Amino acid sequence: QVQLQESGPGLVKPSETLSLTCTVSGGSISSYYWSWIRQPAGKGLEWIGRIYTSGSTNYNPSLKSRVTMSVDTSKNQFSLKLSSVTAADTAVYYCARMDLSGYGMDVWGQGTTVTVSS
Amino acid sequence: QSVLTQPPSASGTPGQRVTISCSGSSSNIGSNYVYWYQQLPGTAPKLLIYRNNQRPSGVPDRFSGSKSGTSASLAISGLRSEDEADYYCAAWDDSLSASMVFGGGTKLTVL
């Protein structure tokens, strides 16, 4: 079955760019939307955005100016970049596959904790 | 605060039926499918209900979803201790900048 694994630095300095990659195994990355979601400690889920394998994207309006998503079908990976980070961006970051409708997230990674601190 | 509104907490005793509400607007729940996610402590969320009332393979039929107008509900019957978790509703929002929106989450306690 399809599995997702997030990877990237666990510590990022304020004002720098957070970069994460999600590796898809057990299936093809093609023909699906792929999402990033985050969750600050003790708080709820926040959708960051999604990318289709063609490169088409939708971003959360509140983060749009700082978010860039990309996909590398040759590596079965997709990535997130969040620029100009602050402490408010400290969270567990999840990657997820969106189902064939493009709206439900049916496979999730285990999540990776990113802390923004100097 | 969250675009979709959920009660912060709910509770029930084993065997009871509990419902969790999710309120939105015409641009999200009113015009799109609702999804429900279960997050057990320390784990990633899991898709529980899709397209308002459909259960993915492996989800017990104790869990059911419904939608009416701009509101939706998740019902759990025959409550079990392992149902203690956080539950989130979600829907696509068709406003100016189309995006997915979540409810703030409901912590379900099994007494």
pLDDT tens digits, residue range A80-114? 999 999 999 999 999 999 987 878 999 999 999 99
| pLDDT-above-90 percentage for chain B | 95
Neighbours of A100 (CB within 10 A): 11
* Mutation site for A-interface testing, chosen from B99, B101, B107 by largest number of A Cβ within 10 Å: B99
The answer to whether the CB of A8 falls within 8 A of the CB of A116 is no
Interface contact B55, partner A, CB < 8 A = no
Closest Cβ–Cβ partner in B2, B88, B92 for A103: B92
| Shortest CA gap B50–chain A (Å) | 6
Asked if B70 and B30 count as a contact pair (C-beta separation under 8 A), the reply is yes
Tell me if B88 sits within 8 A of B102, measured CB to CB.
Answer: yes
Mean pLDDT of chain B: 96
Band of the pLDDT at B103, cuts 50, 70, 90?
very high
Structure token pair of residue B36 = 């429900």
* Encoded tokens for B7: 């009660």
Q: Say whether A26 sits in a helix, a strand or coil.
A: coil
**Cα separation, B76 vs B97, whole angstroms:** 33
pLDDT of residue A103: 85
pLDDT tens readout for residues A18-67: 999 999 999 999 999 999 999 999 999 999 999 999 999 999 999 999 99
Q: A50 near A34, Cβ under 8 Å?
A: yes
Q: Looking at residue A102, what is its pLDDT? A: 77
- Identify the pLDDT of residue B1: 83
Residue-wise pLDDT tens digits, A8-26: 999 999 999 999 999 999 9
Mutate to test the interface with B, among A103, A110, A112 (most CBs of B within 10 A): A103
Detail the DSSP E strand segments found in B1-111: 9-12, 18-23, 34-39, 46-49, 63-68, 71-76, 85-93, 99-102, 106-110
Q: Which residues of A touch B50 (CB under 8 A)?
A: 99, 101, 104, 106
The helix/strand/coil state of A99 is coil
Q: Is the pLDDT of residue B95 over 90?
A: no
| CB < 8 Å to A37, chain B | 45
pLDDT at residue number B87: 98
Over range A56-79, report the average pLDDT: 96
* Interchain contact B102–A (C-beta under 8 A): yes
Helix or strand (DSSP H, E) at B35? strand B34-39
Residue A99: the pLDDT is 86
How far away is chain A from the Cα of B57, in angstroms, using its nearest Cα? 11
* Alpha helix stretches (DSSP H) within chain A: none
Tokens of B77: 């019957």
In this predicted structure, the answer to whether residue B96 has a pLDDT above a threshold of 90 is no
pLDDT at position B97 over 80: no
Q: How many residues does chain B have?
A: 111
Query: Which is nearest to B39 in space by CA: B51, B29, B49, B48?
Result: B48
